[in-house]
Amino acid sequence: MKLQQLLSYTRKAVDDYQMIQEGDHIAVGISGGKDSLTLLYALHGLKRFYPQKFELSAITIDLGYEKFDTEPLRKLCEELEVPYRVVKTDIAHILFEERKESNPCSLCAKMRKGALNDAVKEMGCNKVAYAHHKDDIIETMLLSLLFEGRFHSFSPKTYLDRMELTVIRPMMYVDEADVIGFQHKYNLPVAKSRCPIDGFTKRQYAKDLVKQLNHEHPGAKNRMFTAILNGNIQGWPERFSDK
């Protein structure tokens, strides 16, 4: 996927759900993974021509794993002229040494998002962009169906009352396969996940299930995504392209 195509998908999501307003200061949480780095490129590119002017900053929550090098991320942010901050935490130590969690994903996500949101507010940002793509939204819906008994997925835009912070997901129309293509085409400085259970989670199960369903029933993935967009899910904002 070329940058122009990425910007097109991003612009559509931002316009459809009115994600960006004039004067916004948006933080991008970059973990070193392909998704967050692609999002950084997307918003950096959008910033150059989008009619609503906004500021952009980047932030990494260091979970405390050994040998996690943030220097390549810092260099990329310098090249893009995006202010960058690293917040060090003991999340990995708490999860795997103190609590010895066997299923740490939910607690890890909660702690990571808490640290990110606190740091974002300290930086003076009013919005934070998460790098969830189309596959993430579909997989979350399947997990919700299978393990919670409800048709649900995370919203393109969510206002957090307690934090007075808006979460946006500008890559919601981008397929993971296109993110992988973008990563290789632009040689993104992706850092391998240090999580010891990476690849052995319920989300990985959902990812494999979506792949299998789409293989056996071509187009199933896009039909599931359409069902989500048209599903009147509680908490989802109005889609302006429907007007």
Decide if pLDDT at 62 tops 90: no
**Both structure tokens of 36:** 């967050």
Contact 125, 26 (CB under 8 A): yes
Average pLDDT, the chain: 91
Enumerate the H helices of 60-175 as residue ranges: 71-80, 91-93, 105-122, 134-148
**Both structure tokens of 32:** 């070193």
Region 23-40: what's the mean pLDDT? 95
Looking at the structure of the chain, the number of domains it has is 1
Q: Is residue 131 part of a domain?
A: yes
Pick from 163, 162, 180: nearest CA to 171: 180
Decide if pLDDT at 61 tops 60: yes
pLDDT, residue 198, reads 63
pTM: 0.91
Strand (E) positions, 90-238?
127-129, 157-160, 165-168
pLDDT, residue 109, reads 82
**For 183-204, what is each residue's pLDDT tens digit?**
999 999 998 766 766 655 788 8
Q: How far apart are the C-alpha atoms of 97 and 99, rounded to whole Å?
A: 6
Q: Is residue 225 part of a domain?
A: yes
**For 145-159, what is each residue's pLDDT tens digit?**
999 999 999 999 999
Output the domain CATH number for residue 44: 3.40.50.620
**For 153-176, what is each residue's pLDDT tens digit?**
999 999 999 889 999 999 999 999
Our CA angle for 32, 35, 37, nearest 5°, is: 50
Region 120-139: what's the mean pLDDT? 95
Helix (H, G, I), strand (E, B) or coil at 127: strand
Compare 22 and 67 and report the one with higher pLDDT: 22
Banded model confidence at residue 231, pLDDT cuts 50, 70, 90: very high
Region 113-124: what's the mean pLDDT? 91
Q: How far apart are the C-alpha atoms of 225 and 220, rounded to whole Å?
A: 9
Within 10 angstroms of residue 82's Cβ, the number of other Cβ atoms is 18
Laid out side by side, the sheet with 127-129 consists of 84-88, 55-62, 25-29, 127-129, 165-168, 157-160
Decide if pLDDT at 28 tops 60: yes
Residue 110 main-chain phi, psi, to 5 deg = -65, -45
Residue 239 main-chain phi, psi, to 5 deg = -95, 115
**Both structure tokens of 118:** 């606190």
Q: How far apart are the C-alpha atoms of 243 and 238, rounded to whole Å?
A: 9
Banded model confidence at residue 68, pLDDT cuts 50, 70, 90: confident
Amino acid 15 reads D
Decide if pLDDT at 211 tops 80: yes
Q: Is residue 243 part of a domain?
A: no
Region 213-222: what's the mean pLDDT? 97
Q: Is residue 94 part of a domain?
A: yes
Helix (H, G, I), strand (E, B) or coil at 119: helix
Region 85-114: what's the mean pLDDT? 82
Region 66-87: what's the mean pLDDT? 90
Within 10 angstroms of residue 223's Cβ, the number of other Cβ atoms is 13
Q: How far apart are the C-alpha atoms of 74 and 12, rounded to whole Å?
A: 29
pLDDT, residue 67, reads 72
Q: Is residue 75 part of a domain?
A: yes
Q: Is residue 68 part of a domain?
A: yes
Q: Is residue 157 part of a domain?
A: yes
Task: State the residue range of the domain holding 22.
Answer: 3-235
- Give the position of tokens 């967050």: 36
